[in-house]
Amino acid sequence: MIRLKKLRINLFSLLLSVCGIVKAQDSIVAFDRPGIADGPYIVGKGIIQAESGFVYSDFIGHENALVPTIMLRKSFLKGNELRLIYNYEPQFIRIIDYHLQNNFDPVAIGIKKKLLHEKKAIPEASFIVNVFYPVQKISREVSMKELNVESSFQFHDNLNKHISINYNAGLLLNRNDKAGILSYSFCMNWNAHHLVSFFGEGFGYAALNGSWREYGFDAGLVIEIKKHYQIDFSFIVNQFERKAYQWLNIGFSALIIRTK
């Protein structure tokens, strides 16, 4: 979700700097960000959305970083969504540090599939698969060592008109962790006002062979500045090998194309 790199801002990223929060039902616009736990909602028919943001961190062992991430989302067929992402990776230090050390900018392509619609005790649910790979190596011979495949289930429940929860569970496969990596997250959302929402979240990653674990939490707020336009602010902490890594995140999400 967040890509760390040395100070660099480009104009395109500034124009598309976007972020948002998941709505309570499949709507014309349903943003995945902020937060680690993605929502199960897909974009509406005929919609293209942009979601992005900038993250700042005084990353231990590296220079300060200000990093743009960009995601474009488009529905296709029925109940499916295509996702294209620049500067993408899961929010855990092992993979962030590896990409930073090698000066990699991961790009990802993903598909989200709607599974269930929320009804009484049944949560809203979807399944997503992302494949991400360093953009610096795309024009060269594909290296399986750098290829990552991430899959997860996303769920969402409305507890009442103000409180909702969303939670994910998934698996990441790559050559650096041959046993696979379990990912999980749980997020609580509070709609304090029809234009303002707050969230708090816990998340973690663990090698299936038990060799390492990593934990984190994040919290923030989302403000709807205009219909289909939202900004967010959040603070993230990763805990790994008895060290804490802090991140500040700001973003803006928007509907950019609507067709009939």
- The pLDDT tens digits of the residues spanning 57-67 come to 766 555 555 56
- Does some domain include residue 175? yes
Question: For position 67, what pLDDT does the model report?
Answer: 64
- Does some domain include residue 5? no
DSSP codes, 52-63: EEEEEE--TTS-
Neighbours of 238 (CB within 10 A): 24
Rounded to whole angstroms, the Cα distance separating 35 from 144 reads 29
* Predicted confidence band of residue 172 (pLDDT cuts 50, 70, 90): very high
Q: Evaluate if residue 104 carries a pLDDT over 80.
A: yes
Query: Mean per-residue pLDDT for 173-200?
Result: 89
- Does some domain include residue 107? yes
- The pTM assigned to this predicted structure is 0.84
The structure tokens listed for 149 are: 């495949």
Share of the chain above pLDDT 90, in %: 43
Question: For position 20, what pLDDT does the model report?
Answer: 34
Q: 145-161 burial string, b = 16+ CB within 10 Å, else e?
A: ebebebebebbbebeee
Mean pLDDT of the chain: 81
- Does some domain include residue 187? yes
- Does some domain include residue 3? no
* Among candidate residues 67, 71, 84, the one with its CA nearest the CA of residue 9: 67
- Does some domain include residue 2? no
Give the range of the structural domain holding residue 127, as residue numbers without chain letter: 11-258
How many residues does this entry show for the chain? 260
β-sheet bridge partners, residue 86: 70, 107
β-sheet bridge partners, residue 214: 205
* Predicted confidence band of residue 27 (pLDDT cuts 50, 70, 90): very low
- Does some domain include residue 192? yes
Task: Give start and end residues of each alpha helix (H) in the chain.
Answer: 11-16, 93-101
Question: For position 12, what pLDDT does the model report?
Answer: 33
CB 76 within 8 A of CB 82: yes
Greater model confidence, 65 or 186: 186
CATH number at residue 227: 2.40.160.40
Instruction: Give Cα 53 distance to the centre of its chain.
Output: 11
- Does some domain include residue 4? no
Task: Count structural domains, the chain.
Answer: 1
